A and B are shown apart, each in its own frame.
Chain A
Amino acid sequence: MRAGPSGVLRALPGDTPGGVSPGIGGAAPPSAALHAVIDEFAYQPGDRQVLRGIDLTVSTGELVVVAGPSGSGKSTLALALAGLIPHRIWGEFRGRVTWQAGGAEPVDLTELPLHEAARHVGITFQNPEYQLIQYRVDAEVAFGPENLALPHHEVVARVRDALDMVGARSLAESAINSLSGGQKQRVAIAAALAMAPPLLVLDEPTSDLDPVGTDEVLKVLRQLCRAHGRGVVVIEHKLDEIAPYADRVLLMRDGQVVVDDHPRKAFLPTSAWVQAGVRPPELVMLAEQLPERFCGDVPLTVDEAASRLAASGIAAGVGGDTCQPRAGGQNFPAAMEAAGVTVSFKGKRALGEVSLRVREGEWVALIGANGSGKTTLGSVLMGFAAPDDGSAWCFGRPVEFGRVPRQADRVGYLFQNVDDMLFNDTVAAELDFTRRHGVATGPNAPSAAQVATLIGLADRTDAHPYALSGGERQRLALGALLTRAPAGLILDEPTTGLDEAHTTALFDLLTKVRTDLGSLTCLLITHDMRLVARFADRVVALRAGRIVLDTSPRQAFAQPELLATCGIRAPAISALHSRLAGHPAEVALSVAEFVGLLGRPAAGSPSC
Chain B
Amino acid sequence: MLKTPAMLKTFDHLLFHTLPGETAVAYAITFLVPLIGPLLFLRFVGMKGLRNVLSYEAADTPIHRLDPRLKLCYPILIALLSVLLGWAWTYALFGLTLVPWILLRPSAIRLRVLAVIVGSPALLSVWSQGLYYTTPNDHLLFVFPVTMAWVGTAGLSTAGLIYGAHQAGRVLVTASAALVLVFTTGPSDVVWATTRLFAPQRLGLAISVGVRFLPQVFERLNIVMRAAEVRGYDFSRPEKWWRLGQLWDYGRRMTRALPLLTVPILVGSLRGCGQMALVADSRAFGVNRWRTTYREVAWTRNDRIAVVAAVLLVAGTVVVMAMGGGRF
Residues of A within 8 A of B (CB): 3, 9, 82, 84, 88, 113-115, 117-118, 122-123, 125, 127, 129-136, 138-139, 142-152, 155-156, 159, 175-177, 191-192, 195, 382, 384, 402-405, 408, 412-413, 415, 417, 419-424, 433-434, 437-439, 441, 466, 480-481, 484
- Among B13-58, those with CB < 8 Å from A are none
Contacting pair B275 A130 (CB below 8 A): yes
In the assembly, what is the distance between CA of A403 and CA of B280, in Å? 42
Report the nearest B residue to A195, measured CB to CB: B283
B239-267 CB contacts (< 8 Å) to partner A: 256, 260-261, 263-264, 267
Q: Given known contacts A123-B282, A133-B276, A191-B283, is B212 in contact with A176 (CB within 8 Å)?
A: yes
Give B185-220 interface residues, CB cut-off 8 Å to A: 187-188, 191-192, 205, 208-209, 211-212, 215-216, 220
Closest-CB distance, B1 to chain A (whole angstroms): 51
Asked whether A419 lies within 8 Å of B267 as measured between CB atoms, the reply is yes
**Complex Cα distance A152/B294, Å?**
6
Contact indicator B291/A420 (Cβ below 8 Å): no
> Which of B74-82, B87-95, B124-132, B228-236 faces chain A?
B228-236
Question: Cβ of B275 and Cβ of A152 under 8 Å apart?
Answer: no
Q: What's the least CB distance linking A481 to chain B, in Å?
A: 7
Asked whether any CB of chain A lies closer than 8 Å to the CB of B324, the reply is no
State in angstroms the CA–CA spacing of A178 and B230 once bound together. 28
Is B139 an interface position by the 8 A CB rule?
no
B232 touches A484 (CB 8 A): yes
Residues of A contacting B224 in the complex (Cβ-Cβ under 8 angstroms): 420
| 18 pairs from A and B in contact (CB 8 Å cutoff) | A115-B281, A129-B272, A133-B279, A134-B188, A139-B208, A139-B295, A142-B295, A382-B230, A402-B236, A405-B236, A413-B226, A417-B268, A420-B223, A421-B230, A423-B264, A437-B228, A437-B232, A439-B232
Nearest residue, chain A, Cβ from B268: A419
The secondary structure that dominates the B interface is helix
Contact A152 B208, CB 8 Å, known A136-B188, A143-B283, A147-B283: no
Residues of B within 8 A of A135 (CB): 187-188, 191, 208, 211-212
CA distance A455 to B305 in the complex (A): 71
CB-contacts of B265-289 with A (<8 A): 267-268, 271-273, 275-276, 278-288
Shortest Cβ distance from B142 into chain A, in angstroms?
44
Of the residues B188, B234, B286, B290, contact of A175 by C-beta under 8 Å: B188
A84 CB contacts on chain B under 8 angstroms: 278, 282
Shortest beta-carbon contacts, A-B, top 5:
A438-B232, A142-B294, A115-B284, A144-B283, A404-B229
Chain B 305-325 interface residues, beta-carbon cutoff 8 Å to A: none
Beyond A155-B292, A175-B188: 14 further Cβ-contacts under 8 Å? A3-B287, A115-B283, A117-B282, A118-B283, A135-B191, A135-B212, A139-B208, A143-B283, A146-B293, A155-B294, A417-B223, A421-B230, A433-B233, A438-B234
Pick the residue among A117, A152, A195 that contacts B292 (CB under 8 A). Answer: A152
Chain B hits for A402, CB < 8 A = 236
A412 to B267, CA, bound (A): 24
CB distance from A439 to the nearest CB of B (A): 6
Once bound together, how far apart are the Cα atoms of A7 and B295, in whole Å?
A: 26
- When distances are taken between beta carbons in the complex, the residues of chain B under 8 Å from A437 are 228, 231-233, 256, 260
- A-B Cβ contacts below 8 A, count: 185
Least Cβ–Cβ distance between A18 and chain B, in angstroms: 15
Residues of A within 8 A of B292 (CB): 145-146, 149-152, 155
What's the Cα separation between A3 and B284 when bound, in Å? 11
- Given known pairs A133-B209, A135-B211, A139-B294, the reply for A421 and B233 (CB within 8 Å) is no
B275 to A, closest residue via Cβ: A130
Interface residues on B, range: 35 or more
- Asked if B231 and A139 sit within 8 Å, CB to CB, the answer is no
Chain B residues near A177 (CB, 8 Å)? 212, 215-216
- B227 interface hit (Cβ, 8 Å): yes
Cβ-defined contact, A155 with B234, below 8 A: no
Chain A contacts of B267 at CB under 8 A? 419, 466
List residues of chain A with CB within 8 A of the CB of B260: 423-424, 437
Do residues A405 and B233 form an inter-chain contact, with CB atoms below 8 A? yes
Residues of A within 8 A of B215 (CB): 177
Q: Looking across the interface, which residue of chain B has its beta carbon closest to that of A197?
A: B282
Assess A155 versus B192: contact at CB under 8 Å? Given A3-B287, A413-B230: no
B60 within 8 A of A: no
Contact in complex: B231, A433 (CB < 8 Å): yes
Q: Which of B209, B284, B293 contacts A195 (CB 8 A)?
A: B284
Cβ contact within 8 Å between B230 and A404? yes
Give the residues in chain B near A138, CB-CB below 8 Å. 294-295
**Given A122-B282, A133-B209, A423-B263, are A145 and B188 neighbors across the interface (CB < 8 Å)?**
no
Q: Closest Cβ of chain A: how far from B69's Cβ, in Å?
A: 16
CB distance from A406 to the nearest CB of B (A): 8
Contacts of A133 in B (CB 8 A): 205, 208-209, 212, 276, 279-280
Task: Check if B211 sits within 8 Å of A408, measured CB to CB.
Answer: no
CA distance A136 to B22 in the complex (A): 59
B322: shortest Cβ distance to chain A, in Å?
44
Q: Of A88, A134, A150, A434, which contacts B232 at CB under 8 A?
A: A434
A422 to B236, CA, bound (A): 21
Render B116-146 as a binary contact track against A, CB cut-off 8 A, 1 for contact.
0000000000000000000000000000000
List the A side residues contacting B275 at CB < 8 Å. 125, 127, 130-131
Cα separation A605 to B261 with both chains bound (whole Å): 66
Whole-angstrom CA separation of A88 from B273 in the bound complex: 14
**Complexed CA–CA distance, A445 and B174 (Å):** 58
Indicate if the CB atoms of A415 and B208 lie closer than 8 Å.
no
Given contacts A9-B288, A135-B188, contact A481 B231 (CB under 8 A): yes
Task: Looking at the assembled complex, report how far the CB atom of A573 sits from the nearest CB atom of chain B, in whole angstroms.
Answer: 35
With A129-B216, A433-B231 as given contacts, are A88 and B281 in contact (CB-CB < 8 Å)? yes
Residue among A127, A408, A441 making CB contact with B230, cutoff 8 Å: A408
**Residue numbers in B under 8 Å from A156 (CB-CB):** 294
CB B222 to nearest CB in A, in angstroms, measures 9
User: Which residues of B sit under 8 angstroms from A408, Cβ to Cβ?
Assistant: 229-232
- In the assembled complex, the CB of A411 is this many whole angstroms from the nearest CB of chain B, namely 9
Q: Kindly list chain A residues whose C-beta atoms are within 8 Å of the C-beta of B192.
A: 139
Q: Could you say which of B208, B216, B233 has the most chain A C-beta atoms within 10 Å of its C-beta?
A: B233
**Chain B residues with Cβ under 8 A from A148's Cβ?**
284, 287-288
Q: Are the CB atoms of A149 and B291 closer together than 8 Å?
A: yes
In the complex, what distance in Å separates the CA atom of A195 from the CA atom of B288?
15
Most A Cβ at <10 Å: residue of B261, B273, B275, B288: B288
